[in-house]
Structures are given as structure tokens and as C-alpha cells.
Structure 1
Amino acid sequence: MIVTTDGDDGICSSTTKEQPRAIGSRHWLSLPHLMWNNHPWLMIGIVVTGIISAAASVAVIDTVNRAIHAKGDRFGLLLMFVGLSLVAVLSTSCASLLPSYASLKTITVLRIGLCKRILATSLEEIERRGPANVLTLMTLDIPRLAQTIEVVPVLLVEGTTLVLALAYLAYLSWAGFAMTLLLVVIGVPLVSYLFAKGISHLRHARDEFNTFNEHSHGLVFGVKELKLNAALRRWFDNDAIDVSANKVAMQEFIGNLWFNASGAISQLVYIFMIGLLLFGVPSIELMPADVLSGSILTILYILRPLAVLVGSVPQISEGAVASESLARFGFPINDPQKTPLVPDAGDERLPKRRYWRSIKLKGICVDYVFNEDNREFRLGPVNLEIRSGELLFITGGNGSGKSTLAKAIAGLYAPKSGCISVDGVQLCAANLDEYQGLFAAVFSDFYLFRRVIGSRDDSANAAMAKSYLQKLGLTGKVKLDGDYYSTTSELSSGQRKRLALLRAYLEDRPIYLLDEWAADQDQEFKKFFYEVLLPDLKQRGKTVIAITHDEEYFSFADRIIKLTDGRMTEPSS
């Protein structure tokens, strides 16, 4: 049977469980890890320049404090102040500029990697999640990661500055450092709670963006229906796009309110510390004047890195939510396996594609869950043998499981139980890709790529394509522009299906799977399809599996399979 594994193996069953919604430390640290994995020397450079900048900044504080209490000539201290300030500014600028190019390369790697992960994910998993969710990964999560990566170097520099400033404070006065640490311990739980509330709303905003994407998809592909139906258009304007867009904005706004509240708490703690040093410490003479002024200067200086760190929390949180969403899809951004690999077939290799004799489905059951209402449909159990070179028709009412069976036969749906074998070799994850290479298919919800891809070299493909364009009545409608069709959109639905069939012809696979291909054809081409095209494929030794309702042409089939509610109700004849 087809082995179902987790996302890392590229074959995901429809029963994949969602990961916990809490953002773990791995998602907070995923971006630094990602940059380290892709550009370790760059990260080392950022850390080194950050340390230099932080050390120079702390040295500036010490120089200012010495200048305040120095007597006599202070020209040497002035030179130190200017020099250290320049070092701090230049090193901070270097640390910020270094990753700009690297971040672009990293995000490009992520985009390409996500596309490969989607290709490696099972069809049923993609259908379960829906196009809107997959598009959100590409249009929202990846760009947010790009924005967050730009912030990481700044956080490293400012975080290093904060740590060294606190170390300098401890050097000046353990009492001042202890008071600061005590206030941090008191403030951190409250700030963390406010951060968590903000992150929760960011997560809700991201989930609602899936709904917005779904409506956007409807806007692009349902614009004709919207223009013709005023009531539908009013619903779309008032209750679909408008409501969804406002929900996204509101969730993000509330999240930012929580983040601002956490920033305000941080500022209050900071102000309380300054007040304690200015008015509380002198009254009890806890530290000398030069140490007190140095401590106050240090606390004042801490304001900038602290403000940067707190102000970056919303952006870092968006990156963490994006990383979490990608991981739930099966694409952890720090996965060292950049390209999904197909396991070595070993001894489970299939017979050569042009010399197979039969495909057997034994006890195949497929469970399909409808997204709209979580209703489950079961196909099977199906016991079927498909013989090389035969013309097989699959028929049945709407919702009887014809397309589900076709996708199971092609290895696009993993069966819940049962097995598929080719000439006695059982289908498994190791040979699934090889098995799927047997099929050229035109499904009812097909997609047309403009690129001309065939089984021969480019010149032979072009010659065959021109021949088939004429045979399928598309001459004058579609032209070849190098390796591309001139258009795939400015055609009727029937013409687009003919072009899809041309693509299948060029692939020249042993098995042709055609899902209600003749449904959109006029009577002339429907007759041409059954009386000329299908016999031509059969004469060339191809196996054809056609889903059809056209009873007047059933006589052309070698066998007819009928499905009712997911079960074969009539034996093959």
C-alpha cells in the first residue's frame, strides 16, 4: 500500500494533526538559526561588530562620567569621547548593513524551498488545507519573515549593548545593579503576559487572513458572477471582503495595543529606576557621587537599546507566528534538508514504464473530508485490475467517487487501507514517483501551464504540438511562441480542455486518465473524441481510463466500471 508519512518525507496523509498553538522557543530562535545555517560568517561578523559597538558605547559612558568629575585639562577625554563615539556609530552601521544582501538570498531560498515542499506534499493534504491557506504562506508568512530578518542584526547589536551596559553598571555598583535586577524580575512577568496577549491576536489576524485570501480568490475567479448578481455583490462587499479585512485590521490593532501596553510598563519600570537613583539613593548615601552619576548615565543610556528591543517585539512576534505557520504546514525553516528527497527505491523498483502488464487495486479504501462541513466520504473497498492497452470507462452519478477513484489509481490519494501493485510490485513511498510517471492526466479542474513540455527534444515537441493543434482544431486560436503557447486563457472552456489534452499527448505516457474530458465539447468534437482520438490512443498501445456520462459511446469501451456512493455496483464486463 502507499505508505503515509509525515511532511518530512514528502507524503502527507489527510490525517496530519495540527501542532500545538503555543509558540515554542524554537520559533523565536528560528530566524537567528536560519541566518547562522545559511551565512555563519555573516552572523559572526554581526556579533563581533555588535560587541565592538556595545563596548565602545559603554566606554563613551565611562568617558562622560570621568569628564563630569575631572578637574583641569580634559582634552584627552574629548579625543577619547570623539573616537569612541565614531567607533560605536560605524560598527553599529556595519552590523546593520551586512545582512541586507544575505537576507534577500535567505528569503529566496525559503520561497523556493516552500514551493518544493508544496510539490512534495500530498494532494489530499493540500486540498484539506485549501488554496487560501497555501497562498497565505507565500504572500504573508514569507514576506513577514523577510521583514523580521532585517531586524535580527539590530536586535543582536542592541541586545549586546544592553548586556554590556548592565555589566558596566554591576562594575560601578552592585547595589545599583541589584536594584535594576529586582525591578526587571518584578516587571518581566507582567510584560511577558502582555506580549503573550499581543501574540495571540497576531495569530488570530494571520488565521483570518486565510479567509481574506479565500475571498480574494473568489474576487479574481468569480468576477463574472459578482458583476451579474447584485445580491451576491452586496454580500461580497459588505459581509465578505469588508468584514474579513476589518477583522484582520482589528486583530492586528488589538495586538499592537497589548504590545504598546507592554512597552509602557517597561518605560514605567525604567522611570522608577531613574527616580530611585536620583532621589532614593542620595538620601541614604548608598554610593559615592561619581558612582551615582555613572549609574544614572548608564541607566539613561540603556533607554535606547531597551526601546529598540521592546519596539521590535511586534515584528519579531510576526516572524515567530509566520515560522510557526510554516512549521505546521511541514516546512520548518531550519530544516537542513533543503530539497525533499524521494527515498531510494532499492528492490521495489517498478517494471519499465512501457512494458508493464497490469495494475491491481486490492481492497482500496480512500477517506475524503470535505472542507466546508468536515463531511467525510469513503471510496471502497475497490478491487480492480487495469490491463495494459485497454480502454476503461468509469461512470456513475455526481458524488459517486469517480474522480476520487481516478486520483487513487494515479497515486495522488493515499488509500486508508488496501494496496496497489504493478506486475506484482507493491506501490510504496520509494517507488511512488516512478509510478505516477506512468500517467498523463486531464482532470476536470486541470491547470494549463504555458510551457510546452513533452517526452522528446524541443524541436520534436514543437513539431508534434503544431500537428496536434491542427488535429484538435486549435490552429488560429493558439500558436507556438518558442517553447510557450501564445495563450492559455483567451480560449473557451472546451478549447482549453483540448489544449490540456494536447499537453497530455506530448507527454506520451503509457496511461491516459481523462476526467469527463468530453463534457465541455460540442457534438462534433465529442464524436471526434470517442470515435477517433480514443481509438488512436488505444492503437498506439496506450491505456485509457476515461470518466464519462456519455452512454451513447459506451460501446467503444473494453470495460465499464460503475460507481454508486463510493462502491463498484456493477462488475466489469
Structure 2
Amino acid sequence: MYFIILTIYQYSKASFFKILLLAIMYMLINFIFFTYASVAFHSSKSYAFKGGEVLLFMVVISLWVYSLYSIKIECSKFSQNYLKELKINVIHRLDTVAYDQLESYSIASIQTLLTSDISQCLMAFKKIGAIFISMSTSVVIYLFLVTSHINWLCFLMISMFFVFTPLTFEIFKRKLSFYLLNHKQHEKKLFSNYLAYFLSIRLFVMNVNFNHRFVFFISSKYARFIQQCEKFDSLFTLINSFSNASFYVMIFLVSIFGLQSQFSGLSLALLIYGLKMIQNTYTQYSSVFLAKKIIKDLQSLSHDLNASSNSCFPVEFCSLPTKLTVSNVVYTYRDSMSNDAFHIGPVNLSLQSGKCLFVTGHNGSGKSTLMKIVTGLYSPNSGEIRVDNSLVRGVNPHYRSLFSAVFDDVSFIEGFSYLDQPKMIRRAENMLAVLNLDHVVTIKDGSFSTIHLSKGQLKRLALVLAYALDRPFYIFDEWAAEQDPFFRKWFYQQFIPQLKRQGKAVMVITHDDRFFHLADELLELDSGHSIESQPHVLTPLMTT
């Protein structure tokens, strides 16, 4: 609870003090009501209210409703703004981070953190208002009962009653946290298993045996998940049961010490109400604990991204560079799970205006990794990359923006405005017609009318976007592999020559040896993780 309160204070002192003042107002009004109720219950005569007193009562009850409403609304507004800022800060930093570092975090984990996790966090933060109200009410009831019962024995029993539940939760907090974290980890594993299943659904649909085995596999995973849920629920319910039993223990003590005359029906009713308020506060424990962990994960990620962005060198380049040179570049990637190392280099290549480079090699030879190095997604361990005569250092967003690239995996965001200039829209519309997509996709306000297309059509739509961006360097990763013979020939025999005539430098990753003769230069990567010495120097095949 203290973490959430401290978070509010650190993020917005204005929100913190506003909520605090509203909580104090709520407490004072409750104290007034309890005092009046005590007087009314102990009075043997009916009381005739005067007009001014009725008006005063209406004002007080209005303030009570206002404070109750405002606390919940203020907490809800805070939670929305705070979590939005955390998410935006993470997304804002992504363009200044090396892509391999981003991969080391696991993009799926970041996706979960920014979607389902943040939703759980938002739900918890929306309960802050209820927590404030419960805490305020229980404090007021305690103060009222203590001031109403001067007897030291009554004071001791009331104090023990209000301390018992919080103390019990604090004692078992570490165990509760352990069970809760295990439960959350099993939930994430289940999510990743379901996600992997649906991403490879064709394999399972075509193999009935696989599907039956997956049922048993996921059932065993789910059994462990339920086991963790039951452990947490059992301990949590046990604590609540002991908390409820404390009320009956107090009644028993009252009868033993002969203090029945000290406790009225109102006092007992308030004791029950106070107990429920305390339980309401601690019932939110699981939500608040998860929110705390999610916030710390987001803050840690944001801090790491900020630290990584310190290696960002946003040096601007000439708007129309003519040459990109990669010299003796070496890159090593170590898998954090298997600890296997992937090595590429040293490699030398150049991309020149009006020229086309083909990169070929067996699967796993490092072609896609090389593409990520050239486009600035990966930062090389050694060697250098130059644009004309300017050295590229670290992570450089301006350098990345020199490229129009179509990667092997293609996806679009529905409704997102990719094209923000009339020239881009005109180029995109022309290419839609050339690629026979104009009857399926239209452009409105810079966004594509639909993204629900076949894989081949999505690759063509990605080409439309790359062409529309009109960058000096174009890179394509196996674009033609999923196209029919007509568009495959069009890509190599018409589109690439068109880009060259426009003065673009083109790099194509391909296995289509039938079209190798159309390249100005060819770079072949050897099978495995290393590059043969011979292909380091590009071999001119044909000058066009």
C-alpha cells in the first residue's frame, strides 16, 4: 500500500495532496456522523430538527458524497495518466535502442508488459480510491471507539482488534508474494504456449496426433497453474478467516471481563464495519502487489532504455547520400538462453547510387543479420560503416531513416497513418495499381483501407510502403520468394532497374540464382556463422 501512495506522491504532488485533503474531509464527516449516531442512539427522547439543522445536515451529506466521489475519480485519473506516461516513455525510447538489445529483453515480454500486464495494473490503480476510503473509514471508527470508551481495558481490546488483521497480513506477506509471483509466471507461460499454438495452428490442424498431444501438454501446464492459484487462495482465505474470527474473540473477551455495559449495539456494529473496511483494504493486496511489480518492471525497462539511448549519436547526413561503405565489420550475438554464439564477419561491402547488390547464401549463413547491421538495427562490435564520408557511430535514428526496407516478416497497424505527404500518397497509389492491389486496398488520410490480406499481398503492400517513402537506400529480404512467377520477374526485371534509374542504391537478399546476372555485384555468405574469405571482396558480375 505504501508503494502506491509513494508513487502518487512522486509522480504528482498535486494529485497526492488533493486525494489526502479529500480523505481527511471524508474522515471528518464520518466522525461527525458517528458522533451524531451515538448521541441519537443513547437518547431516550425523539428530537425535533429545526430548519437550519436540516439544511446543515444536507450540506454535510453532500460533502460526504462529493469527497467519496472525488477520491475515486482523482485516483482513476491519476492511474490513467501515470500508466500512459510509463508506456509512452518506453515506446518513445525504442527508436534510439539497438535492436539486438531490444531482442534480449524478449519482444514478447515487452508486448505482454505493455498490454495484459498494464491492464492488470490499471485495474489495481483504479482500486486505490476504494483503498483510501476503506483506510480512512477504519481510522475514523477506531478513533471514535477509542474516544467513546475511556476504560483502559476497552482501549486495549479495541486497539488489538484493529491491529490484528494488518499484523497477520504483514507476517504472511512474504509467503503470499512468493505464491503470487509463481502464479504470475505460470500464467505467462500459459499465455506464450497458447500464442505459439495459434501462430503454428496449421501444423497442428494437419497433424491430429500433434493436436491431441498439445491437449495433454497444455492440461499439465494448466494443472500447475491451478496449483499455484490454490496455494495463494488458500493462504489468503485462511488469513481472512482468522481476521473474521477476531471479532468473535473480542465478544468473548468482553463477556469474560464483564464489559457488556461498555459496548452498545452501535459500538458492535461499528466494530464489524471497521473490520470489513480493514479487510477491504487488504483484499486488494494481490492486485496492488502485482501492480507494484509491473510498475517496477516498466521503470526498470525505461531506465535501461534511457541508459542505452546514451549511446545514441543522432548525427544527420546529407539528404541525398550516394554511397554506403561497410568496412571490416564484425558482429557477434550470444543467445542468452543457450549461450550459443553467432558470429559474422569481417565483411566488406558497398551500396552505391544507381547500383544493385545481391546477397546470397544458405539458410543460417547470416544474410538477415547482415541486413540488420547495414540498416543500423544492430551495432557492429568492430569495423565501421560510412555514409559518403560520414562515420556512423552507435545507434543513429537519422542513419536508420535513410533506408526503405522490406523484411521477411511483414505486419501493419490497422488505421495507422503511414503516409503523411501528398507525394508519398501519389507514389503509393501508383504502386498499388502496378501490383494489382488497387481493387483491394485504397489510401485514406495516409492509412491503408485494409490490412487483412494474404501473405503474398501483404509483402506487396510492404513494397508499396517502401517505395512511397522514397529513401536513398532500398533493402529487400527475400521479397520475391512468396510471389507468383509474374511478380517475381517484375521485381527483378522491372522494379529494381526502375529504382536504379531513380538513383537509388539497392540491396537484395535472394536465392533466385536465375536472376543473379541482373546484379551489379554479388556477395555470397558461406553456410553456418562465418563468411568465406573470398566473398569479402565483391565480385562484379555485370554492369548495367
Tell me whether the two structures share a fold, i.e. TM-score over 0.5.
Answer: yes
* Paired position in structure 2 for 1:403: 368
* Paired position in structure 2 for 1:503: 465
Are residues 59 and 400 of structure 1, via their aligned partners in 2, closer, same or farther at CA, if it must alter by over 3 Å? same
Of 261, 264, 285, the residue aligned with 2:238 is 261
Question: Can you list the C-alpha shifts for 1:24-56, whole angstroms capped at 9, x where unaligned?
Answer: 964x4466348x62x935x54443333233233
Alignment RMSD: 4.1
AA partner of residue 148 (structure 1): A
Of 142, 153, 166, the residue aligned with 2:142 is 166
Q: Distance in 1 between matches of 2:279 and 2:78?
A: 29
Of 47, 52, 57, the residue aligned with 2:30 is 57
AA partner of residue 267 (structure 1): N
Q: Distance in 2 between matches of 1:324 and 1:366?
A: 31
Q: 1:112, CA displacement in angstroms?
A: 7.1
Alignment of 1:461-480 (within 5 A): 461-480=424-443
Stretches of structure 2 that go unaligned for 5 or more consecutive residues are: 539-544
AA partner of residue 436 (structure 1): R
Of 76, 91, 99, the residue aligned with 1:103 is 76
SS in 2 for 1:354: coil
Q: Distance in 2 between matches of 1:417 and 1:81?
A: 82
AA partner of residue 207 (structure 1): Q
Question: Can you list the C-alpha shifts for 1:323-370, whole angstroms capped at 9, x where unaligned?
Answer: 2443454389xx9x9xx9977988x62322313533434443231527
Work out whether 1:315 is the aligned partner of 2:315.
no
Q: 1:402, CA displacement in angstroms?
A: 1.2
Q: 1:433, CA displacement in angstroms?
A: 0.9
Alignment of 1:88-237 (within 5 A): 91=64, 94-96=67-69, 98-100=71-73, 103=76, 106-107=79-80, 110-111=83-84, 113-114=86-87, 117-118=90-91, 120-121=93-94, 122=97, 123-171=99-147, 172-173=149-150, 175-181=153-159, 190-237=168-215
Is the CA contact (8 Å cut-off) linking 2:26 and 2:64 kept in structure 1? yes
Is the CA contact (8 Å cut-off) linking 2:176 and 2:236 kept in structure 1? yes
Are residues 104 and 239 of structure 1, via their aligned partners in 2, closer, same or farther at CA, if it must alter by over 3 Å? farther
Is the CA contact (8 Å cut-off) linking 1:187 and 1:266 kept in structure 2? yes
Stretches of structure 1 that go unaligned for 5 or more consecutive residues are: 1-23, 284-288
Q: Distance in 1 between matches of 2:75 and 2:501?
A: 56
TM-score of the pair, normalised by structure 1: 0.78
Of 506, 510, 513, the residue aligned with 2:475 is 513
AA partner of residue 242 (structure 2): I
Q: Distance in 2 between matches of 1:517 and 1:107?
A: 42
Alignment of 1:534-573 (within 5 A): 534-564=496-526, 565-569=528-532, 570-573=535-538
SS in 2 for 1:567: coil
Of 389, 402, 410, the residue aligned with 1:438 is 402
* Count of aligned positions: 528
Q: Distance in 2 between matches of 1:294 and 1:449?
A: 60
Is the CA contact (8 Å cut-off) linking 1:537 and 1:544 kept in structure 2? yes
* Paired position in structure 2 for 1:526: 488
Question: Can you list the C-alpha shifts for 1:249-282, whole angstroms capped at 9, x where unaligned?
Answer: 4433432222222222323344434433442374
Is the CA contact (8 Å cut-off) linking 2:121 and 2:287 kept in structure 1? no
TM-score of the pair, normalised by structure 2: 0.81
Are residues 453 and 143 of structure 1, via their aligned partners in 2, closer, same or farther at CA, if it must alter by over 3 Å? closer
* Paired position in structure 2 for 1:18: none
Alignment of 1:263-278 (within 5 A): 263-278=240-255
Identity of aligned residues (%): 21
Question: Can you list the C-alpha shifts for 1:87-142, whole angstroms capped at 9, x where unaligned?
Answer: 47962664245534862684376357526624633433443444542342244222
* Paired position in structure 1 for 2:228: 251
Q: Distance in 2 between matches of 1:521 and 1:538?
A: 22
Q: 1:506, CA displacement in angstroms?
A: 0.5
Work out whether 1:490 is the aligned partner of 2:453.
yes
Q: 1:59, CA displacement in angstroms?
A: 3.9
